[in-house]
Amino acid sequence: MRVLLIEDDPELSSGIAAFLAGQGDSVVVEANGMAADVLLQQQSFDFVLIDVGLPGLGGYEIVRRIRERRQTVPVIMVTARDALDDRIYGLDLGADDYLPKPFELAELTARIRAIIRRGAKAASHRVDFGPLSIDVVARHASLADQPLILSNREWDLLTPLAEADGHTVPKERLQADGSVNALEVYVCRLRRRLEPAGVNIRTVRGFGYRLEIASQAADKTRHDANH
C-alpha cells in the first residue's frame, strides 16, 4: 500500500514508517497539516494515518476536508487524546478508526488490515461473518442459509457489527436515536435471533459491541481460564 503518515513527532513517525516499510508498504511522511492536505489533493494514497495535534492544520480539520472532497481513502486518527468526546468527534468527521497513544505497532497494522478488509467487502456489497451473510445493497440477510428478516433499525445495528469483522464497534456509532436504553433493547433482540446459529453479540463494557462466533468465544474463555 501507499500510506500517508501525517505526524509531527519525528521519533514516532520514523518508527511507524520503518515498521510499515518493513511490511512492504510505501510510506510518505509529512509533519505539517497544511502541506499534508495539499498532498492529499495532488496524490493518491491507499491509507492515511493522521495525528490530531499538527502545525499548520489540525488533524480533525484534515479529516473534515478529506470527506468534504468525497475522498474515500481510509483514515486512522493517531493521538494522545483519549477522551470519549474526542473519539466521537473524530469518528463523526469521517475517520475509520481512532488509536490512542501509546500503542503497539502490531495493533496499528491489525487495525489497518481490518479496515482494508471491510473496504473490500463493502466494494463487493456482501459481508459474511460465520453463518451470517448480508448484502448491504440489496438489503438481504441470511443466517445459516435461512432468510433473516430485519427491521430498518436492526439493519442499522447489525450491518456495522458484521462489517467490523469481529472488532468492537463504539456505542456512539450504533445509537441512531441517541438512546442507550433503546440500543440495548435492539441488541437483546438481535442476540436472541443470532445465538441459535452460533453468532454472539458481546458487550465490551464502556465502549461498545462486537460479533463473535460461538466456538471462538468458547475457545477464548477456556484460554483465559487456563492463564
Each residue's pLDDT tens digit, 97-116: 888 887 888 888 888 888 88
pTM, to two decimals: 0.55
Question: What amino acid is encoded at 140 in this protein?
Answer: H
* pLDDT band with cut points at 50, 70 and 90 for residue 176: low
Residue 206 Ramachandran class (φ > 0 left, ψ -120 to 50 alpha, else beta): left
Instruction: Enter the DSSP assignment of 146.
Output: E
- Residue 102 burial (C-beta neighbours within 10 Å; 0-12, 13-18, 19+): exposed
Tell me, rounded to whole angstroms, the distance of Cα 164 from its chain centroid: 6
φ and ψ at residue 198, rounded to 5 degrees = 90, 15
Q: How many other CB atoms are there within 10 angstroms of residue 218's CB atom?
A: 13
